Structure formats: structure tokens, C-alpha cells
Structure 1
Amino acid sequence: MAGNTFKSKVNARPGIQQPGNRRNLFGFIERKLALTGLFGEGVPVGLVPPFLYAASLALIYIWSNHKAENTIRKIEILQQEVEDIRADVTTLEAAFMYAGKQSEVAKKIAPLGIEEIDRPPHKIVLKK
């Protein structure tokens, strides 16, 4: 019985493309990795799922950090707007309180010919 031997890569299977000759994404990746000599004969398929899992976790982590930073920026902008509006409300309340004083109302209605009463009101008493 003969021992096991390796087939030559040139005449391994006529009509079927060899991994290095593929014209797709994985063939391109295999050719580039073969040039670096990092994995030797080919890419270990067993490493693809853990790598994709780690890459997806990294993307989710980066996305959540960006989302959190954007939310913090929006919160700071809204807090500044609330402080500005609160200051405006305080100013307007003070102006309305001042405008509602009896002396200020009397000044505003003086051009209309309405005068403020000097004497207190008196009771009208009816005898039965």
C-alpha cells in the first residue's frame, strides 16, 4: 500500500479556481494575508466568528459613547436655555409687580381723566 502524498497545487483540480486566484472579497483578503505571511497557508475560519463578535461589540461601544456625549451636549444646551428663560421670567414678574402698584396704575389712568379717590368710601345705611 502506498503512503499519503500531497497533490501539486497547479494540477490539483482542473477547472476549479484555487483559493489564491479567486476574484472576490475573501480571495483578495487571502492574497493580502498570504503576502504578509501572517497565517501561512490560509485564514483560519475558526477565528472569524469571535473576531466579528469582538468587532461588533467594539462598534456598539463606540456608538454608545458618541450617543452619550451627544446627549450630554444637548442637556447642557437645554440647561443654559432654562437658566436664560428663568432669568427672563424673574425680570418680567418684577416688572408686572411694579406695574400693578396703586400709584403706577393711577399714573397710567391719569390721561384718561380718571382720578384716584382721596377720601375713604362711606357706607350707605338704609332704615327699615
Structure 2
Amino acid sequence: MAINVLKAQNQKRTARPVRSKSRVLSWLGQWFHVEKWIGGREFPVRYLDGTLYLLLLGLIVIFFRINAERQMRQLRKATEEVNNYRAAYTILKANYMKMGKQSELAPKVAKMGLSESRKSPQRIQVKK
């Protein structure tokens, strides 16, 4: 009789080289010699993905924060300008309302030779 042998024992397994998840990042590691910067012989390129992702998120946060501060400055400036225009409008409106009063108009019209009528107004009746 034959001996029972597992197929896995007969076939030799060849070890595949471990690839990083990102070929682009491993290429960057080869070209820019990141190992020299860190001081070690082997640099785990698999951590470069997360590092670059966090760096990108940090830059986005910084961009939005700077943008928000700029918008806040513009908002404060616009609010101050609106308040100034509102105050000017209120002053002009008060002056126009004051100029329209009869007590203010009488002296100005008197210079042109016009005076107030002392007679009461009369109704005009139209016969049909």
C-alpha cells in the first residue's frame, strides 16, 4: 500500500517579497532614500501612507482655519461699515423729517415773500 502524504508537504512554498500597499509610496522611498533621513537601514514604507494622510489632513485644517479667520476679519469690517452707514442714515432721516415741519419751513418761505394763510380752507362744491 501507498503512504498517505499531504500535498502541501510535497510542494515547496516560495516566499514572495512583501509588497507595500502603495507602489507609489515604495517608489518614493526608493528614489528619495528616506532611510538616510531617518537614520535606519530599513524604512517601513507602510507607515508613509498614514503619515502623508495625516499631513494632508493637517494642511486642510490649517487652510480652513486661516480662511475662517480671514472671513471673521472681513465680517467685523463689514459690520462696522454697516453700523456707520446705519448711523449716517438715521441722522439724515432725522434732519429731513425736521426740515419738513411747518415751523422750519415758514421762515425759509417768508424770505421768498410767501406767508401763511389766515383763512380757513373752503370746500368746493360741484353741482351735478
TM-score normalised by L of structure 2:
0.66
What code does the residue aligned with 1:95 have? N
- The residue that corresponds to 1:114 in the other structure is 114
For 2:44 and 2:127, the matched residues in 1 are separated by 115
Structure having greater relative contact order (Cα 8 Å, sep ≥ 6): 2
Change (3 A) 1:68 1:125: closer
Q: CA deviation at 1:76?
A: 0.9
How big is the alpha-carbon RMSD for the aligned residues of Structure 1 and Structure 2? Answer: 2.3
Q: Which runs of 5+ in 2 are unaligned?
A: 1-29
Aligned length: 99
Q: Which runs of 5+ in 1 are unaligned?
A: 1-21
- The residue that corresponds to 1:99 in the other structure is 99
Between 108-117 and 49-58, the greater mean CA deviation after superposition: 108-117
Change (3 A) 1:44 1:106: same
- The sequence identity of aligned pairs, in percent, is 37
What code does the residue aligned with 1:31 have? K
Determine whether 1:31 maps to 2:41: no
Q: CA deviation at 1:123?
A: 3.3
Change (3 A) 1:127 1:43: closer
